[in-house]
Amino acid sequence: MRLTEGIVVDSGLTFGKLRFSALRREVRKQNEDGTVSNEVKERTYNLKSSAQGRMIQVSIPANVPLREFAYDAEVELVNPIVDTVANYVFREGTTVNWFIKADDLVLKRPQNQGTSTNQNEGKK
């Protein structure tokens, strides 16, 4: 069973501050004969999540260039979705796996602190 659209989340509330750790793995496509091809399907990155209090893994499509940010650089997810896969195993019950996907992983830009003003403006 799968959620058809996934769960759209508020990234700030769900993940808090995200910091880049490393590329975890590359998932490759399979050839028709079942062997693994050289073509990358998606890349999964380790990110430190302040709200979750642990490392999370986020998968990004392979059409996005490889992300190699500095360790601990603050990053943000573009259009994150949380999804599940549930499997029923006879006599053992159901297992549910959660995973996070996003359209992209980018460096977080500093928020604009407003326009700079001259501190002495209007003083005589």
Q: What is the pLDDT of residues 58-116, one digit of tens each?
A: 999 999 999 999 999 999 999 999 988 888 888 888 888 889 999 999 999 877 655 44
The whole-number average pLDDT for the span 25-45 is 93
CATH number for the region 7-107 comes to 2.40.50.390
The whole-number average pLDDT for the span 17-25 is 96
Amino acid 123: pLDDT: 47
Q: How high is the mean pLDDT of the chain? A: 87
Query: d(Cα 90, Cα 102) in Å, to the nearest integer?
Result: 33
Give a three-class secondary structure readout of the chain. CECCCCEECCHHHHHCCEEEEEEEEEEEEECCCCCEEEEEEEEEEEEEECCCCEEEEEEEECCCCCCCCCCCCEEEEECCEEEEEEEEECCCEEEEEEEEECCEEEECCCCCCCCCCCCCCCCC
Amino acid 4: pLDDT: 66
